[in-house]
Structure 1
């Protein structure tokens, strides 16, 4: 019999929650023949990731998309039969009626709290630990991560193969960029910019525009667009229109589906990413990147940033490691060191090679969907 899975997703304020849940749901359905329902409370956000119209997801009627039954999780909950495996993504609260029904099943549901991604040392020790709940069920904490002792990262079975084939085909890259209305001069380095708003952005673009290397920035719709417009001295912008200032060319492009966003990351020489989903996909692109971590009060995000940098920069030369760590910490602190451009784009061939080796290292461990399936099989 097919295993049934319910994934509950509460979208907070960006695309990472829905992005992670959608990728996971789709992979479980396609690669593991699971019967998957994805319950999401923000159909508009999910629709943009799937390149659908929001009305196609909202309402009482579920929609079958890529093998996943997508349900609108509204405040008026209707009773349903719980699945074999229930994933409470990022500590969202399950409906009370659903919790009661989980405990009443002849074989109780496996209840998993899928946590946020972190490279901190304590994660491996907490991964897979149970917590007894008031209804008598055990809830297990499941941590994605960067070591074999964690649940790993989301990675479709054919992802690396597809990326390699795309990156080896200059024709495929040109065709994709042209579909966005983008033509890149041969001497320009291509940079994607998908980050949170930052007080350092304008100063950094100033430095890059005055640098020796021409850089072509592609800016998908998102929070950073307003900052870029201010730097250009514009109140509005036209999609696809190239705006030149010094050695910087900027083009605003539409918000991309997950599939096309992967192609964007694979096409660029450098990627500025944010949150969790785009952060992971940048690593699978095997290209140098900068992570704009989700900011938390009182700098609570910096230990998480430093933990990843400790892992990621292992094996780099001392000078390049200092440049990467310095530029990442400065960016996330909203300040600009004297040589932000030089630090951020430092490394050249060394950083390119390091990015490929880091990707290969991650590929050697279980992917997140595989780890979840194995955990369920062991639990049964």
Structure 2
């Protein structure tokens, strides 16, 4: 087991489902490997449903102004590693306290800027680059840039130990029954998205044709996805299963799911629509066909990121075409007709990528090795 160290992870919440979700998974995974983690977050409200039981070895602390360093116990348990997640800047009073402790005979913490996930070529070039701190009390210290990624030359992907074994033991029928879903063998499709203009066309396609010749039950995440579905139909009653089987689409709306239960949702489905960094990685580990709704950026930088991701997957033309349709920002760009999902080809694509990525070290393993080398 790696030496026990104290990690301080700083997270500014922009999207409750994204930044805090990744930071919590990382904190919990490090704790499961014997590390002690202080997670500093400006808005921890999402953790109430995301991880209601908490995690031994992780303390969630309020990132307020000023920082409550006394409650954190930094003098008794100095920071060995401090991580600023997704470009946030660590609270200056925390850095000043670390400098004070170092001048009193302690060690400098390893300072890591944990970046966003991408499959673009720059990730390998920039991963593990150092940047000397130019000003402030920590002038002369080093900050390291750590890039998650999909190749051995990057920081890897979040993947807790035993994930594949847990998935192998998963009982789909029992889980669906526990959610109150009377599953009759329909194709199951999860929907976690923003408001894609292509959504009404997808719903119309399922309502007319089902999926792979079978009826579809759509399992819809709460919030923006549920609102988008309801807005598309206004009155969704006609979508409910009919006694004569006349409509091949039915819809179940979910409440907010803890992270482990969200994994179960992805494992249960035959096709997953996901959004955000955390969810696309979980969809990869689920090994089922999936479509990624990437967060749109004004300069279209997200499209280069999406294309690089599809290249990493070695995605077939049908999957590339569907992603182009799903990620179009205007109804006209999405086209008039929703392409039919090619489950067999997409399944092979995901399984092949999953097998390749499972053979690589995960993000926490690479972080632990990096810290041991640079401490």
TM-score normalised by the chain length of structure 2: 0.88
Query: Is the 1:123–1:143 Cα contact (8 Å) retained in structure 2?
Result: yes
Give the alignment partner of residue 2 of structure 1, picking from 4, 27, 32.
4
Equivalent position SS for 2:120: coil
Give the alignment partner of residue 360 of structure 1, picking from 347, 355, 362.
355
Q: Name the counterpart of 1:189.
A: 187
Q: Say whether 1:127 aligns with 2:131.
A: no
Displacement after TM superposition at 1:107 (Å): 1.1
Query: Is the 2:319–2:346 Cα contact (8 Å) retained in structure 1?
Result: no
Q: Say whether 1:178 aligns with 2:168.
A: no
Displacement after TM superposition at 1:180 (Å): 1.3
Moved more, 200-209 or 279-288: 200-209
Give the alignment partner of residue 160 of structure 1, picking from 161, 164, 169.
164
CA distance in structure 2 between the partners assigned to 1:219 and 1:227 by the alignment: 10
Displacement after TM superposition at 1:340 (Å): 2.2
Q: Name the counterpart of 1:318.
A: none
Q: 1:22-37, aligned counterparts within 5 Å?
A: 22-31=24-33, 33-37=34-38
Q: Name the counterpart of 1:116.
A: 116
CA distance in structure 2 between the partners assigned to 1:276 and 1:243 by the alignment: 33
1:335-365, CA deviations, whole angstroms, 9 ceiling, x for partnerless residues? 43355241xx11x333323322211100111
Displacement after TM superposition at 1:41 (Å): 1.1
Displacement after TM superposition at 1:376 (Å): 0.3
Q: 1:240-259, aligned counterparts within 5 Å?
A: 242=240, 246-259=247-260
Equivalent position SS for 2:94: helix
CA distance in structure 2 between the partners assigned to 1:114 and 1:295 by the alignment: 21
* Displaced runs of 4 or more, over 6 A: none
The unaligned stretches of length 5 or more in structure 2 are none
Q: 1:194-343, aligned counterparts within 5 Å?
A: 194-212=192-210, 213=213, 214-234=215-235, 242=240, 246-313=247-314, 321-334=316-329, 335-342=333-340
Displacement after TM superposition at 1:16 (Å): 1.0
Root-mean-square deviation (CA, aligned residues, Å) is 1.9
CA distance in structure 2 between the partners assigned to 1:183 and 1:75 by the alignment: 49
Q: 1:94-105, aligned counterparts within 5 Å?
A: 94-104=90-100, 105=102
Give the alignment partner of residue 78 of structure 1, picking from 65, 68, 71.
68
1:116-163, CA deviations, whole angstroms, 9 ceiling, x for partnerless residues? 000000100100001111222111000000000001000011001111
Equivalent position SS for 2:144: strand
CA distance in structure 1 between the partners assigned to 2:113 and 2:62 by the alignment: 20
